[in-house]
Amino acid sequence: MPASSPHAGADSQSDAGHGWVFASHLSRHVRHLADATGTPWRVLAHLAGVPSSTVATMVTPGRPRARIRTRDAQRLLRLTPETVWSAEHTMVAAAATVNRIQALRQAGHPHRRIADYLNLSDHELRPLAAGEQNWCTLMVKLRAQAACEAHNLWWSEADDHED
């Protein structure tokens, strides 16, 4: 690939996901997707399986990230409005989400704010927070992960493994 290509890697291992690509077009992609779907960038990072720190440096004001790993770029480019829609309709086990809700509560976050983080009504959050639901959507789970991460509740992540 020519060096002037926006996908040009910095090393010869780009096929293995270890190369680097320019981040400018990916930053626009993530911002557009966040605006189009109403999904925060941190949630999109979790959905893509990309470190939030990588996406944060792409979308927050200041000195933008110039390059990201090829693997992360591929994962971000796979995100579409349909991917987000699918996450909003895919059911997953709720135990990890209930634990994260409890972590947010213990850290002093009020019920209404947690509902906002998860994009749920008070009525929808109550049975989930009480552990009365065995299932929630993947999007609710990702929003709970993102909320805990944003509030430095890292220990709440240990209850399940994410790619």
Domain that includes residue 68, residue range:
14-79
pLDDT value at position 155? 59
Is 9 among the domain residues?
no
pLDDT value at position 66? 77
Lowest average pLDDT, out of 7-11, 90-94, 100-104, 115-119, goes to: 7-11
Q: How far is residue 83's CA from residue 51's CA, in Å, rounded to a whole number?
A: 18
What is the number of alpha carbons within 13 Å of residue 99 lying toward its C-beta? 14
Question: Model confidence over 4-41: pLDDT tens digits?
Answer: 333 333 333 444 557 888 888 888 999 999 999 999 99
Q: What CATH number did the domain enclosing 94 receive?
A: 1.10.260
Please tell me whether residues 106 and 75 are part of one structural domain: no
Domains in the chain: how many in total? 2
Share of the chain above pLDDT 70, in %: 81
Please tell me whether residues 104 and 134 are part of one structural domain: yes
Please tell me whether residues 141 and 98 are part of one structural domain: yes
pLDDT value at position 161? 42
Enumerate residues 6+ apart whose C-beta is below 8 A from 39: 33, 47, 84, 139
Please tell me whether residues 18 and 48 are part of one structural domain: yes
Q: State pTM to two decimals.
A: 0.82
